Structure 1
Amino acid sequence: MKAFVILSAIAALVASSDVVVKYSAPNLVKGAEGRSGKADVLSLTRHAMESLALPEAVVPVEPLAVSADLFKHTAGYGFVVVEGAGEGFASEKADYAFQKTMDLQEASTGQLPHLVSVLAQGVKGKNAKNVVVCAGDSVCGSVDKKFTDVLSTTNAASVEASLWSALPALQSTSPADQLVVRELTNLKLVIDSIKKADKSVQGLYVASISDLSGLAAEKQDAAKAVVASSVQEFQTALKERYTNAGLQVLTLSQKMKIDMVELSASVALARQLSLSANATVANKTAAAPLTIENIAEYQIILWTAVILAVVTFLAISVLCGMDANRDSLLYAKFLTDASNRKND
């Protein structure tokens, strides 16, 4: 009975977590909109890698209700992780062409920091000029700095001051309140980075808000409202900066704290993805993404080779079957006189 109660509680937690997947154009993704299906962070990471046309390890993952288009890829991709929210954010479709909501397997979220690191390595390994901006203690703390760009903090003081003004219920002496304001500040700075990003290269933008449930009950509603508006601002900035943009907003019912060592199979799969990205960075030989141009070039080379082979075969066949006697057409011009009459 006790085990049943524990399992029921875990199931309730999982059911209250979700992920919203958005795309700026309908041709970037395959699948139906609305709310249906389940997702885990490994499948979501693999989905992002496919959308960004990153080199991938061939690993089995749980199928998603959506899939990235094979030929059309995103230039900008964003992740926003909100812990302890208890309710979804970014539910408004806004001007995005596609939106899909799926239940998130919260037991898999402990892999997020590692998988974000894998994504950062893949983006930078594909092109060192690509932009990777990551801010948030819970998700970005383990990402190697050599795979990320420096987050500009020029306006950090003014942004933080405005947030304290917008959240008068929060106290600057409370560690939990300080954490929320600091991570909201980082989220705002990531938004500024998106607005100033170089559109000629790909960009990956990640931000997280740590456990909102750590706030006092009377402060949570105000904080959630500011977080929700900031997430909306994030997605708007991403869409305006990149014509082809993708976004995942992960809303967790609790703080990421589950021991993932117990999930050995999932960890092994995540490691395979990481090794694939590491090999790309080390060798500097990232596999080219499959595009229309690649397929067209392959087809041209293939059929040109086939035609040349057929022509060569026919020419050899004709030569082999040709009559080389003196009365044959081959020698006709040598057997004519000056008056263009053949000799008898």
Structure 2
Amino acid sequence: DDIQLMLDDLIRQGRKLWLKYPNDRQKGRKELEVFVRDIRKKRTALQVEARYQARVEKLKNQKKITGVSLFIFGPTHPIRVFLHRLVSSEAFEWTMVVLIILNCLFLGLHSPHVKSSSSLGKALSALDKVFTSIFCFELVIKVIAFGFYESKPAARPQHDEHEEKVPENQPAANQQNAANAPDSNSQRCENAYLKSWWNRLDMLVVIVSVFGLIFPRVTFLRGLRAIRPIRVAIRVKQVKVVVKALIHSLGNVINGVIFTFVVLFIFAIIGAQLFSGRLGRCVAVGQPFALQDATLYPDKDSCKNANVMWVNAGFDFDNVFSALLATFKITNFAHWFEDLLCEHVLKKSSEGKKK
């Protein structure tokens, strides 16, 4: 609609200039260019102002306390107001970032060589409990301050005849505003904790840490402690930008992976047709690198009854799936030459051609 209105203004101005300068088109064209530049400046200024106002309104809304948290703490509850000021301060946020970094550093000291009964193991275990308790406390106070989830606003009770009415001597506009003024307790929690996906991820990490303390012998939960550094990305805005960019590019990355898989699959089919069964070799028992004479043991059947055994290379092309894995290994240059450049393969292929 805005573009259509701007085009209508340009057409209207062009008609005026056409009638104003019937014999001097060059002058009319210059005035029209000036008019277009002025419109561009005005539109750009309006857009910038609208974006700024939207950003200001967003920041204001983030600082508001709405709804009833946990069905107990209203917007004016002193405990909730105090906790909201606490968690909204930069000092609190940076304190939590420092604690998360310290937790990651102590987490890096855990290793299979550190026994749980040693002094270092006991100290690391105690610090893990302390940090997890701090993060749980942070989660609780944020839930109280912001509300747990964005619940639907409660239905406003109908006013009966005995309720206090707005005085009739007030202006009609004030009476209408007073009648339509929403009750702060009936509003929804606009800035609820679970409304943000970053907070959901943060809560998931904390829950995993708690379960890791409850079930310390579960290896899977201990391994999930490695995701704790993600909590730093939740708080640092610069890291958030990088994470969002990676998430937005995930679709293109998946398309690239699918294309690469198709190309590798084509080469795997070609490799299975050319090298199927040709990468095996006869070696002495217990000596996998002691190649035997290919003229005496040309194939797998000739190795069965002798004191030698037939082994495949570290990868082979005997079927499509093995060939796909072998092709992937070749593209990564992961020691593929040790098997592909085996002299036995060359001798065997040459002998097959002679036969």
Q: TM over 0.5, yes or no? A: no
Q: Considering fraction of residues, name the structure with more strand.
A: 1
TM-score, normalising length: structure 2: 0.19
RCO (CA 8 Å, sep 6+): is it higher in 1 or 2?
Answer: 1
TM-score, normalising length: structure 1: 0.20
Please identify the structure whose Cα radius of gyration is greater: 2
